[in-house]
Amino acid sequence: MRIPFLDLAAQAGSAGASVAEALAEGWYVGGPRVAAFEQELARYLGPAVEVVGVGSGTDAIELALRGLGVGPGDEVITVANTCVPTVAGIEAAGATPVLVDADPETATIDPARLAAALTARTRAVVPVHLYGRPADMTSIGAFAHEHGLLLVEDAAQAHGASIGETRVGSIGHAAAFSFYPTKNLGALGDAGAIVTSLDDVADRAVKLREYGQTPDRIAHLRADQSRLDTMQAAVLHAKLPHLERWNARRRAIAERYADALRDGPVRLPAGGGEHVHHLYVVRSGERDRLRARLLERGVETLVHYPLAVHQHPAWRELERPGALRESEQAAAEVVSLPLYPQLTDDEVDAVISALLA
Ligand SMILES: *Cc1c(COP(=O)(O)O)cnc(C)c1O
């Protein structure tokens, strides 16, 4: 049995009719469909948030920070155990990313290491809900509050994840979502959104996504553009009603893996009911051999991510006030198993058998 790492086509079907309607309407960037999706997502995320659609998740990080007034001369603390767009978005805002290490248990930013990264120039913290697992927002929020810092969630992997009754993306001063096709809520191309409960930030974000202009075409801020196009909004509108069911299926698959692999050859990810399992990431000291063995049995795997941020050639000079050993160790050991809502139990069992063989 061949088990692909992802099967995006299996999920795209529900969007066809919605795209056909949008095509017929003849409005291809912005417009009522974008506004409708923004409202639907806001309703889904929480009682008091506004959503501003933009061109990508990276742009959403940049514009959320700029909307909050973070820019040149400001330091933004984030985690070394993430993908490059987190720091690319911070740097695009003109701010300086400062890296801290991950917690060994959760793989998300370690709140105990924030204090060592704090300087007089620190303006914000960007925790990443990595792999769909909410970061420790209680401790991070307390730290941010104590030091007067802004909190911007990188929620690009965590659509629908929650802490208690609160959805991630509605906790910080602002948040960034990506709708890159592989995400839990994915478009058929690039798309993203800024989420905030602060009216003035939403207002600035609306200007920043389109030349700094108000609808009367008067530019109040200097900006280029980053728009959520109408076709992607139509796709996302069609898919959002399925997100809860898809996330539940992701959780069921994660449980099936966890039950069967408890005594297996790999280290399993820490559990957590609010997790939405964007990725199911196990760890092995013999990753390459493990991946080759799985591939022989038809099981495709990927590595998220092969390097911690500061290990990439382009990002070696980033500020890092402490050791980043946990992030480096994770990068050396992580391997992602297939996990998506359309995966059948038989396929999951085949992955398990391949791992236990
Ligand atoms: C996907 C992703 C982004 C960037 O989103 P794009 O839409 O690809 O720009 C940022 N942060 C994290 C954690 C992501 O997974």
Q: Where do the domains of the chain lie? A: 9-241, 243-356
Nearest-CA residue for atom 14 of ligand 1:
156
In angstroms, what is the span from residue 248 Cα to ligand 1's centroid?
A: 22
Read off the pLDDT of residues 175-224 as tens digits, 9 standing for 90 and up: 999 999 999 999 999 999 999 999 999 999 999 999 999 999 999 999 99
Q: Which residues line ligand 1 (CB under 6 A)?
A: 56-58, 82-83, 85-86, 128, 154, 156-157, 178, 180, 190, 192
CA distance 100 to 119: 13
Mutate which of 54, 126, 130, 178 for ligand 1 pocket (most atoms within 8 A of beta carbon): 178
Task: Write the DSSP assignment of 283-296 as a string of letters.
Answer: E-TTHHHHHHHHHH
Mutate which of 61, 133, 154 for ligand 1 pocket (most atoms within 8 A of beta carbon): 154
pLDDT at 273 (0 to 100): 58
Nearest-CA residue for atom 12 of ligand 1:
156
Identity of residue 69 = G
Fold of 9-241: Aspartate Aminotransferase; domain 2 (3.40.640)
Helix, strand, coil abundance in the chain, percent, nearest 5 = 40, 15, 40
In angstroms, what is the span from residue 37 Cα to ligand 1's centroid?
A: 19
pLDDT at 47 (0 to 100): 81
CB 149, CB 124: distance < 8 Å = yes
- Structurally, what CATH architecture does the domain formed by 243-356 represent? Alpha-Beta Complex (3.90)
CB 101, CB 322: distance < 8 Å = yes
pTM: 0.97
In angstroms, what is the span from residue 343 Cα to ligand 1's centroid?
A: 23
Per-residue pLDDT tens digits of the chain, which is 357 residues long: 899 999 988 887 778 899 999 999 999 998 899 999 999 999 999 988 999 999 999 999 999 999 999 999 999 999 999 999 999 999 999 999 999 999 999 999 999 999 999 999 999 999 999 999 999 999 999 999 999 999 999 999 999 999 999 999 999 999 999 999 999 999 999 999 999 999 999 999 999 999 999 999 999 999 999 999 999 999 999 999 999 999 999 999 999 999 999 998 999 998 765 899 999 999 999 999 999 999 999 999 999 999 999 999 999 999 899 999 999 999 999 999 999 999 999 999 999 999 998
Closest approach atom of ligand 1 to CA 278:
15
pLDDT at 13 (0 to 100): 73
Same fold, 9-241 and 243-356: no
pLDDT at 146 (0 to 100): 98
pLDDT at 187 (0 to 100): 96
pLDDT at 272 (0 to 100): 64
In angstroms, what is the span from residue 127 Cα to ligand 1's centroid?
A: 13
In angstroms, what is the span from residue 194 Cα to ligand 1's centroid?
A: 12
The CA distances from residue 353 to 87, 264, 267, 327, 346, in Å, are: 38, 10, 16, 29, 10
Closest approach atom of ligand 1 to CA 191:
7
In angstroms, what is the span from residue 196 Cα to ligand 1's centroid?
A: 18
The CA distances from residue 318 to 100, 284, 322, in Å, are: 11, 28, 12
Question: What count of residues does the chain have?
Answer: 357
Closest approach atom of ligand 1 to CA 89:
10
For 317, the token pair is 């000079």
Nearest-CA residue for atom 2 of ligand 1:
156
pLDDT at 118 (0 to 100): 98
